[in-house]
Structure formats: C-alpha cells, structure tokens
Structure 1
Amino acid sequence: MHLNFSPLLSATLLLGLAAGAARAQTTPTIARPSATLTVAEDAGSVSIPLSITNPGTVASTVQVAVQALGTATAGQDYTYAITQTVTFPAGATGTQTLTIPILDDALAEETEYFVVRLLNPTNATVSATANDILVYIKDNDTPAPARANNLTLGLVQSYQTATPFSGNTQINSAEIAAFDPTTKRLYVANSIGGKLEILNLANPAAIAAVASIDIKSYGGLNSVAVRNGLVACAIENSNPQQNGSVVFFDQNGAFQKQVTVGAMPDMITFSPDGRYVLTANEGEPNAAYTTDPEGSVSVIDISGGIAGLAQANVSTATFTAFNSQAAALRAQGIRIYGGLAASPSTVAQDLEPEYIAVSANSQTAYITLQENNAIAVLDLATKQITALRPVGYTDHTQPGRSLDASDRTTEVLMANWPIKGMRQPDAINLVEVNGTSYLLTANEGDSRDYSGFSEVVRLGANGYALDATAFPNASLLKQETVLGRLNVTNKLGDTDGDGDFDEIYAYGGRSFSIYNAATGAEVYDSGNLLERVTAADATYGAIFNASNGFEAPVRKNRSDDKGPEPEGVTTGRIGNNLYAFVSMERVGGVMVFNINNPAAPVLETYANNRSLTTTTGDLGPEGIVFISAADSPTGQPLLLLANEVSSTIAVYSLQANTPTAARPGQGAEPLAAYPNPSQGAPVRLSRAVSGTLHDLAGRPVRHLRATDRLDTSGLAAGVYLLRADDGAATKLIVN
C-alpha cells in the first residue's frame, strides 16, 4: 500500500521529534575534582582539573572566584587577582585545568589555605553543595619545635603489672600509681581488674610484685594515694550513683578503715601536711540520665590517726550554693548543660569534680570540673567551695593555635579554623615559683555521651546545621577532608537560639595551661605545640595522633577527636630547675618543659615507648609520678608513667645535661601576629620578642624590645616584615 503524508502532517511530526530530542538533551554539569587539594609551598602552582558531563552543542563556561574563607593571602601566598572564567568547548568531554601560581616565601607559617568557588555557569549547572574547592598550602619553612635537651629521660624499665587483654577484651589496667618513699613501694590502681597492685620499687630496674589485693568487695577502684605507709583508695559504689567510700590499708594491703564520701570518687590525694585526704567526687549520672547525683569534694581529717578515724571526720563540700547562679555561670564560660529536657540538672548536679591539687600550705584545694570547663576553689579551713572559675577556650583562628582536624587527610595539616576548643582539663598540679602559686592543667577534653543524653556530634552530620551567615562555606566545612569528621558539642554555639550553630566548639585544648592560682588569670597556654612536637618527631611522627587501643596504631585516627589528649601533669625540681611533665593519653609518652619562667616554658624533650606497628610497649599513660633525688631509691630523680591500656609502669631516669649555646636564630620559635591583616589597631604577637619591623623596601619602620605588642598606628597600608633578634620572622598586612 502506498502511504501519502500531507505537508501539514509531516511538519507536525518533525516538530514533535525535535521537541522530544530537546527534552532528551541533559543539561551539562561542571564539577570539581574533590573538596580539597594539597600543594607544597615550593610546588610553583596548583592545578585544579574541572570536569564536564553531558556536554552540549554550544560552549559551557563557569567562573572561579576566591572566597573570604581562608588563611592564605592573595599576592603573598598565591596569585589570583581577579575572577577567572573556564570554558568548555561545544561537545568537548574531559577536563579543563585551572592553574593557580603558589608563591614560596621564606616565612615559618602554619598550613594555610584558600577557597575558590565555581559560580555563574552558562549552558551548564554546578552543584550548590559541591561548588567550593579548598587548597591547602603546606609550609616548607617551619622548623620542628626546638628542644633544649638539657634533661635526658632514659627508660629504666617497662614493668607489666598484669595481663591487659583477653582477646580483644581488656581485663586489667594500670591507671593511677602512688609512690611511698618510706617503704620504696609503688601502689597501682588496677581499675578494670578490681585490684590494688603493690610493687617493690627498691630497684627500679627490677621491679618486683609484692601483693595484689582484690578490691571488688568494696566497690570499683578509681584511684590510690599513699603517705608514710598509709594507703588510701577511692572506691565507687557498686551502684555508681550512690555514695562511694575511701578505704584505708596499711603498706602490705591489710584493711584499716572505711568511710563514706560523695558519689563516684574519681581521684584521691593527701594534703602536703598530711592532715587531710581529699576525694573529687564526680557524681556522673546513670546511662539513661534519670539519676544524677551531685558532684562534691570530700575532706577526711586524719590528723587524729587512722585508728580513731570515724565518719564524723569526713566533711563533704557541695555546690548547692551555686544552684541559683546557672545563667551567670554560663555567661562566664562555665558549662551548665546536663539533664533531660523535662528535668534539667541543677548546678550542683551538673558540676563534675575530676582532679585535685592542694596548695603548699594545705589551706586551699583547686579542683578541675572537666566537663564544665572550669576550676573550683575549696577553702580547707571552712570546707566550703569559695569560687568557680572558667578556664577559657582555645581560639583556633589565632596564630599558634592551629590543629590537625581531620582523620581523612593523608598529611598532617596544622591549620587555623573558625573553631573554639573547650579546654576541659583533667589533671591539675600546683607549684610555687618565686613566692607565687601557679596551676598547671592538662587540657584533655571530655564529653557526656550516654544512652539517654549525648552531646557528641560530628560537624558534618545532617543534624548539625551551621548558620548560613556565620559560615557561608558550610557545605565545604562539612566535607570529611575539612572539618566534617571533627567531633563537636551540640550543647554550645547556638548563640541566637534559632536551632543552627553560630559558633563551633570542639573537645579539648590539645594543650597544657598555666594559671595564676590566686587570681585564675591565664599565664601560658601551649597552643598547638604538643601536636607539632609529635608530628615532627623523627620516630613517633609516624603514628601522629594515633589512638592507644588494642589495635595496631593508625596515624591520625584521633585527629578528628581530641588529638593527643594530654591527660596527666606533674612538676619536679632538679637542681635549680623546675620542670613540668605532661603525659599524652593517645599517642603516648611524656613531654618535658622547663618552667623556671611560667610565662615562657621551654620545651626540653619528648620520650615515648610504644611500637609503631604492633600493640606492644606502653599504651595510654594516665597517672604520672615524679620522684625527687632525695626520695628516689637510686638517688637519681625518676619519672613514672602508669599506662592504663598496656597495664605497664614505665620508669624513666632523669639526667640533667650541660646546656649547649645555640647559634643566633637556630631553632627559633615561630612568630605570628594577630589580628592579621591589621586595621591600624595594636597587634599582638604570639610571644614577646625584640626586633625590627621593615617595609617591603627593607627600611626599618618600628623597633621592638621585649614586647608582645606592636603599634601599627600611622603605618601606610601594605605588607611588612617583622624580624626578631632570635632569627624568627613573620609578615604583617596593614589595611
């Protein structure tokens, strides 16, 4: 049969086919290669390959512009003067490469970054949640932190107190240790095994077991202290929310007395004069958060001797007097946030004492309130809490306060971010220098994470919404190679109450701090130094920020949490020098600082003893004990680390060395200035220096002498270079 189409029908059919073809054509999509790229400062340039899918019959374009988020400076760290346009020819597949020059300066800097955004596409689309690219620039001028090496730590022995694991289950531990010089014995709290281990330390190179006392019938062993043959153990109730106890033993582990203290006594110590035994009663809630005992500090007066000790000798200081001050405490920076929505905790319930330091005159105790980011002050004469002090937050935007925030990046990227670190100190130590008392804190960090209440959330989680005004690059920040993996709190940071977060708060300061004990004023904070030391260590840099568990160490797997987690801190004098010893629970080991000047500690050395590939060695140092030469069984100062996970006691000998004079500029600590750029206001330096500020022509424009302030008033807008007399340098931009 012959079919004859009319002209009108043919035209209609052709138009329909054309419309169908148009509907089938998919709009081209332009995409970034990844959320982040890393380039070395001396690489010359960074290449950003942009790809297109479903190319069209006409050319597609996209503009690429620098964003405000970033710590690198255009014209100083990279070259990108104006918005650029990338064109994809019609029908072309594959990639178009944007090349950005990277400038290699001679300044010691932290990892810097800049962000470019894909925007205003033509004949194409770009994902609104995957349009930013962050470029990390790794500095090649920053030296490893200088070590004075005036003190040598020599490992004498790592003694296994008990078998730590059965398969993958931990069955024993060595959490806290206490040394008695009168008996040369060491008492170790085996919390997981429920035992008090008694060791003979007469020969530190050949430690011998004396006895293992089963504590489980009394409750759960949390801590131990000893003085002149009297051993005091902090015991939590079998129902942890009920009052706990202190059980006293003689030097051989024979029971002496038992008294009741507050709920969950977590740490115990003797006052320097031996009159008091104090416990920090943490008072944690149950898992459902339906029972929340009050935190407290118990003071046991043993001045009358252990034989006559009775419950009447126990005073427990509570925080109930602060219950009406919740709002004022929060405004000061003290975290009061626990409890369920229907029954929020009182201040007394919310405060959780963690660790105690007592003044040399035995008149005042200072107690860390870890989850609350605060320190309490206790008058031992009246047995009353007299003050609550916030310990402050670490501003990670500031020089010297950078952190490695992701476990998904291959390299260590110590960068500044719009994050505040809740210091949340664990251990605290008190020391006197030239008549002034100072408090040292190990800023480990901790969270509340129960079945009925949890504040822990990853920054990249869908339920953690960042305020669009405060964080216009929120989608980028939530990427796993940026900040998406970082654990943060969902109980702080929503400043306007609208349900999203205007500020980001992460756990721990990753540092140690020094405060004036009388005033609470901050004297020093180590900032990023602990992470920098371990990252640059010739041996243990291989397991930077690794965890301390049964599995083999994995580099950087704690970067998204609290980093090295400094947990223990103590001090000791050797000759004319005063030293601080800071243990790091995760990566392990101990750092030593000379603190003759508490405002400017000097890094001496770092020692560690764990395998880089297996689970052997010392894992999870928590308790830390300094033994002076006068008390040491060898006549030489010793340092002991109680390693909770490996159930080992590491004994180090301490040997003072003859200092070697450094050449000018050798090992100079990096120098930074902030705010930078400056708006003509005074600029603060990361440390006090003497030096000269030069303009780009090399002309001196300001002279500094032993100051951490720089007056920029009257300076013309531009870039300046500050050179310190010790060889350090930093750039400064004045707008």
Structure 2
Amino acid sequence: MHQNYCSLLPKTLLLLGMAVGTAQAQTISRVAATVIGNENAGSVSLAISIQNPGAAASTVEAVVQGLGTATAGQDFTFTTTQTITFPDGSTANQTLTIPLLDDALAEETEYFTVRLQNPTNATLGAGATDILVYIKDNDTPAPVPAGNLTLSLLQSYQNGTPFSGNTQINSAEIVAYDASTKRLYVANSVGGKLDILNFTNPGAITALASIDIKSYGGINSVAVRNGVVACAIENTNPQANGSVVFFDQNGAFLKQVTVGAMPDMVTFSPDGTYVLTANEGEPKADYTVDPEGSVSVIDMAGGVAGLTQANVTTATFSSFNVQAAQLRAQGIRIYGGRAASPSTVAQDLEPEYIAVSADSRMAYITLQENNGLATLDLATKQITAIRPIGYSDLRLPGHGIDASDQSGDVLIANWPIKGMRQPDAIASFEVGGTPYLLTANEGDARDYTGFSEQVRLGSSGYVLDPMAFPNAALLKNTSVLGRLNVTNKTGDTDGDGDFDEIYAYGGRSFSIYNATTGAEAYDSGNLLERVTATSAPYRDIFNASNSFGEAPTRKNRSDDKGPEPEGITTGQLGNNLYAFVSMERTGGVMGFNINNPASPVLEFYVNNRSLTAGTGDLGPEGIVFVSAANSPTGQPMLILANEVSSTVAVYSIQTTVLGTAAARPTAAPLLLYPNPAQGTTVRLSRAVSGMLTDLLGRPVRQLLATDHFDANGLAAGVYVLRATDGATSKLIVK
C-alpha cells in the first residue's frame, strides 16, 4: 500500500506551499490598443488594467511616444510624464484622461501614441504597452458636389442571371455603344457570350442576340465602330496567343486575327484606322510559363473585308530586357517569376488598358502590376518609353486612407505608407492644346499558387525594420494597420530581409498626367473615400464589397484597396470637359469638371445599389459616355457595365451649366397635378420620358413616353421629376 505523504503534512504548510506555487507577478497592460476621441469632446480616456495585484501599490508611467500626426499643445494636452497608481490589492482599471483641444483647422483624423513604461511593483504586459489615440476632426467639411450635372437612371438592364447558387454564370464586364446602329455590345466574359442589345429606347433596352464566343476562346473586351464589332478573345490556353474576332452588327462572323497572349482590352483609334489590344500575358498559376506582355496593332485602313494576319503588328517590350535595373530604379516594378527563373522585363510587364491620342498617333498603355505607363508610336508601331506612374505618399495632407476593416469607425488618416497607384483604365484628353492622361488607380496584386506578393502587414512573415518603425507592434495591431494588404516584393531598400518602407495596393484615387512629359498634374488623394464616407445615404456602404446576394458590410474593403476606382472616361458637354470615374467595390460613378486639369471639381456621385442587400448594380467596370449628338434621345448619357450583377446601367445627363457653344433649346415647361399629391395618379402637362427621384437622387419611378404615373406607395416628402429633354419639376407628396 502506497503511503500518502501529503496527508502527513500540516494543513497550513500545505496551503502555504500551494499559494507559493501559484503566485503570479503583477502585470500592468493597456486595455485596448486603440481609442477614438472626437476633437470637440473635451477629453479622451484610456483604461489601464492590472492583473494579480499585490499587497503593495503598483505604479506605471505614461508618456507620449513618437508615432503620431497630432501635436501636443495644439491637438491635445500632455506636457509631462504622468504616473498611474494601482492601490494595493485593487483589481479595478485605472483611467488616464487626456484633454483634447478643439482647433479650427480642417484636418484628417489625427493620432498620437501613449506608451506605458517604468512600472514599480509590477511588470508590463508583453506587447501591450502602446495605445494609439485617434482624434476625429470636426472641422473638415464633407465634399459638396457642384451640381452642374445631374444623372437620372433610365434603366438597369439585366443581360443574364448573374449567379446559380454561389457560382457566377453571367457578367457584364465591358460595354460598347455604336451610334450608327443604336446598339450596345456587352462582353459577357463569365457566360462566354457577346450580348447585343437594342438601344433605340434607352429606358427600355431589349435583347437582339447573344453570340456564343466559347468556340473562339474567352471574351475579355469589346469595341465597336460603324457596325464593325471587335472582340478581344483569350486563348483556351491563356498563356498562348489570343485573337481579335470581328463580327458585323448582328453578330455574324467576319474575320479573326491572332494577337499577343491574353488580350485584356480592345479599342478602335479615334480615326478608325487601327484596332489595338492590350495583351496582358499573365503567367500560369504555378509560374512555370510566363508569356511576354505586348500590344497588338491591327491596321484597319483597308476595312475588315481585306483584313489578314499581315495587317497585325505586335509590339513587344523585349528591347527593354537589358534595362531591368534602370527601370526598377525609376520606379517600375519588375519583380515576377520564380527564384530560379526570374521574369524578364518583357515577361513581367502586363499591359492592362489603352488610350489613344485624339490625332490617332500615340497610344498610352497602363502596366498595372508594374505601376507604370508605356507609350506606343502608331506610325512606327514601336514602344517608345516606359514611365513610372508614381506613388501616393499617404503621409501627406489629403492623401490619408481608412486602413483597417476593424477600427470601428471611418478613420481617414495619414500613415507612413506609399500607395502603389497601379492604374487600370486610362483615358486621354486635351485642354488648350496640351494632351493629358487620366488614370483610375485601382491597384492589383500578383497572387498565384506558385508566386504571391500579397501579405497582411500584421503577419509574422512581414517584418518591419525596427529603426524605421520603432512602433512596429502597434502598427501591426488589427485596429491600426495590421489588416492592411501590402506587398512583400517592394520596400526592403537595404536588402537585409526586413521592410524599410511599406507599399500598399492602389492609390484609391484618379490621377491626371501630362501625356508628353509624364509629369503629374493632379491626384485626387482621398477625395473618393471622403465622398463615399460622407454622402448620404451611401456612407452606409463606405468601402463595402460588392458581393451578390449578400448584405453590404461597411468598411470591409478598407484593409484592401478601398473603393477601387477601375473605370474612367471623359465627355464634352458644351464648353465643359468632364471625367467620369466608376468604383468597382463601393459602386457607382463620380463626375468631375476637368477644364482645369490641375484642379478638377466634383460634380456628382450616384450609385444604384442596395444599402441593405446584395442587389442593384454591383461591380461597375466598363464605362461609356454618349454625347447628345450620338444619343438615341438627343440627351447625353452615361452607361456602366456592372460585372458582378450582370447589369447595364443607363443614366441620362442633365446639365445646369453649359458652355454657350453647345447650348440646347430650353425644354418646354413640365407641370404636375395634383401637386401636392396624395395616393393618386399624377398627371403631366405633356408626355415625357425620365425619372422621378427623391431629394437624395434615388430613383423611385421611371417614366417612358407617358403623361401620367401612379403616386401610390410614395412616402410623404419632396420628389423631383427629371425628363430626358432637360425639363424638371418638383412633386410634393402628402
């Protein structure tokens, strides 16, 4: 029988031994890594906790540490080291209250860091000593649209059921309009079809044909001119050469020619002489094959009937292979391939989108992943230059971002980060004889099974240089920058394995460049985020993703690329030139007057998606401006192709201010009666087409050549009827 020796010990000695064995040191920690205070709140409180308090009191010092954009004495008061005392035996949190100063400056969200140090009768919790205090500004006004343009939704046309369960089966990625036939051509890439739509009545689009493209490959893009339709077709083996397939206006096959690998975009030159494709040449998922990126130029001078392969010239980047080091030094990202076989310059460059100058002499090509821009001389059909597109310095005023999906509030702040603009769409325009380029700075990462550059800033494998980032642990917190997606292929400037600079994806902006010199004329900084964060009602879906059938989650794309500006185009209305920018994630489109390329003016923001469900127009990509002269109704229009929802949204454009050169006749008066109305039929003084919207611009009734509509079901309030001929009239519903 075994002896139970513990039973022989005095009970008091046994209890004492147990107490000694389980005793733990007092530990002082901050309760939360971040605290948010409003500038005009008077103060902000920081909670400090203690674990396992002892018989004697414990203290800890609090100091303001270096990481921050707020200034002591100007934004908050914290003049000397402060001591926080925990009474003996107390488990209660202690509170450090810091006065906030309400200045009158319009600023982004600012922040400062409080650090706990020098504890007595305690130790500090590991990794729990720094607190980032956000100060939300109350002086920065919300961007106010000038309102010289008003958009009315005429129709959101569904070109196919977008999803079957969780599988997408149709899309509307790119749309092209042919004024000669009054037809729309939609690249339905997911469905493998070219959809042809009757656009004679933009408020009542009808389907004409749906051409199965799968026998040719995968359709990526479409362009049309005078009844000739050009489709960019990816090979069934994506790394092999693709093609451009030409159809007539009804979708009958005309010709097919071979172009470079993975043609991602196709366009006609303004004079119709050329068709160009941006051949992206993406690698195979395991990176065992990486075709060269290129631009194909198809000479259309002889018309489509005489077109042969001899009319195709594919311009490559092979002559730049010897300039890899020089290009990297200039800011061009050449970084792809596997360690044993890195990509050449020609393999690494991935043309995304093309804009052609008004005189059809030069083409400008975005190199999205490479953060660059190429120029192509159409006379020689040679690439003449590769230029860096630049970075957004997120430390600068007006360039901060909302960087976390877990910060609990919209906090557009400056950070020690560079945003890789990585533009998708590009457009060209001229002002005063000077050519300019307009880019939508979406951002894009290479993320393949055999190669991935995308990591979370907070991941253990992404090590920040301790000299450059002494607050690395705090930056890596999920409520600060820890959730932000960054690249692990750029930023290690000294080659020692840690990152001296942080590079995030996308500029969350649009930029304007001098096309001749490449000099930056303008970058919108955080304007797109500020508009979507403050515009009612769209602020409820700020930086929300575009998942079909799912309720939008506010801020769930803040840790990635924010609103993701993707599509861009320009349009002339009278003497005024406008830029239109679509945002893939948040949705909708913004318009800007760009008469002065150095100082664009916000005109409007519209968005036709649900605030509470995954419905409406989701994932706008292709964008087309239709001038009044080319419009079926005589009214200028904007057309958006929405990839995720597989819809084509058509907006009529009404102008409040027009240049005298294009002044339109004043529309006949439009009267509504009874007005006020209450649950009845509202009569119009004449038949019109148009849209009835609420005061926030949300459509509630669409009118098609009618002199009445039903007001039943309309909530009490004020509504605006905007006819396509420019007439407007207010309706009061009781």
User: Alpha-carbon deviations, 1:635-690, whole Å to 9, x = none?
Assistant: 1100000000111111111111149xxxxxxxxxxxxxxxxxxxxxxxxxxxxxxx
1:624 is matched with: 623
2:352 is matched with: 354
2:598 is matched with: 599
User: C-alpha displacement at 1:17, in angstroms?
Assistant: 9.4
Alignment of 1:219-234 (within 5 A): 219-234=217-232
2:43 is matched with: 45
User: What amino acid sits opposite 1:428 in the alignment?
Assistant: I
User: C-alpha displacement at 1:31, in angstroms?
Assistant: 1.3
Alignment of 1:289-304 (within 5 A): 289-304=287-302
User: What amino acid sits opposite 1:240 in the alignment?
Assistant: P
Output the CA distance in 2 between the equivalents of 1:283 and 1:14.
79
2:173 is matched with: 175
2:233 is matched with: 235
User: C-alpha displacement at 1:272, in angstroms?
Assistant: 0.8
1:476 is matched with: 474
User: C-alpha displacement at 1:127, in angstroms?
Assistant: 2.4
User: What amino acid sits opposite 1:178 in the alignment?
Assistant: A
User: What amino acid sits opposite 2:621 in the alignment?
Assistant: E
Output the CA distance in 1 between the equivalents of 2:145 and 2:90.
56
State the secondary structure of the residue aligned to 1:372.
coil
1:200 is matched with: 198
2:583 is matched with: 584
State the secondary structure of the residue aligned to 2:298.
strand
Alignment of 1:114-129 (within 5 A): 114-129=112-127
User: Alpha-carbon deviations, 1:182-236, whole Å to 9, x = none?
Assistant: 0001100000000000001111011111100000000000000000100000000
1:218 is matched with: 216
TM-score by length of 1: 0.87
CA contact (8 A) 2:32 2:47 kept: no
User: What amino acid sits opposite 2:133 in the alignment?
Assistant: V
State the secondary structure of the residue aligned to 1:94.
coil
Output the CA distance in 1 between the equivalents of 2:363 and 2:64.
53
User: C-alpha displacement at 1:25, in angstroms?
Assistant: 2.9
State the secondary structure of the residue aligned to 1:42.
helix
User: C-alpha displacement at 1:249, in angstroms?
Assistant: 0.3
User: C-alpha displacement at 1:302, in angstroms?
Assistant: 1.2
User: C-alpha displacement at 1:620, in angstroms?
Assistant: 0.4
User: Alpha-carbon deviations, 1:147-201, whole Å to 9, x = none?
Assistant: 1001101111111111111112110000000100000011000000000000011
State the secondary structure of the residue aligned to 1:331.
helix
User: C-alpha displacement at 1:128, in angstroms?
Assistant: 3.6
Aligned partner (choices 436, 439, 449) of residue 438 of structure 1: 436
1:69 is matched with: 67
1:649 is matched with: 648
Output the CA distance in 1 between the equivalents of 2:22 and 2:452.
49
User: What amino acid sits opposite 1:78 in the alignment?
Assistant: F
Give me the identity figure in percent. Answer: 76
User: C-alpha displacement at 1:297, in angstroms?
Assistant: 0.2
Alignment of 1:527-542 (within 5 A): 527-542=525-540
| Alignment of 1:503 onto 2:501 | yes
Alignment of 1:431-580 (within 5 A): 431-550=429-548, 551-580=550-579
State the secondary structure of the residue aligned to 2:614.
coil
User: Alpha-carbon deviations, 1:551-609, whole Å to 9, x = none?
Assistant: 22111000000000000000000011000000000010000000000000000010110
TM-score by length of 2: 0.87
State the secondary structure of the residue aligned to 1:630.
helix
Any unmatched runs of 5+ in structure 2?
Answer: 1-8, 659-734
CA contact (8 A) 2:544 2:553 kept: yes
Output the aligned Cα RMSD.
Answer: 1.6
State the secondary structure of the residue aligned to 1:360.
coil
User: C-alpha displacement at 1:89, in angstroms?
Assistant: 1.6
Output the CA distance in 2 between the equivalents of 1:541 and 1:14.
65
1:190 is matched with: 188
| Alignment of 1:32 onto 2:30 | yes
Any unmatched runs of 5+ in structure 1?
Answer: 1-9, 660-735
User: What amino acid sits opposite 2:636 in the alignment?
Assistant: P
2:691 is matched with: none
User: Alpha-carbon deviations, 1:322-343, whole Å to 9, x = none?
Assistant: 0011111011000000000000
Aligned partner (choices 293, 304, 307) of residue 306 of structure 1: 304
1:638 is matched with: 637
Output the CA distance in 2 between the equivalents of 1:14 and 1:534.
68
State the secondary structure of the residue aligned to 2:124.
coil
User: What amino acid sits opposite 1:105 in the alignment?
Assistant: D
2:107 is matched with: 109
State the secondary structure of the residue aligned to 2:355.
strand
1:373 is matched with: 371
Output the CA distance in 2 between the equivalents of 1:18 and 1:272.
91
1:662 is matched with: none
State the secondary structure of the residue aligned to 2:323.
helix
| Alignment of 1:403 onto 2:424 | no
User: C-alpha displacement at 1:280, in angstroms?
Assistant: 0.2
1:147 is matched with: 145
User: Alpha-carbon deviations, 1:333-370, whole Å to 9, x = none?
Assistant: 00000000000000000000000000111111000000
State the secondary structure of the residue aligned to 2:629.
coil
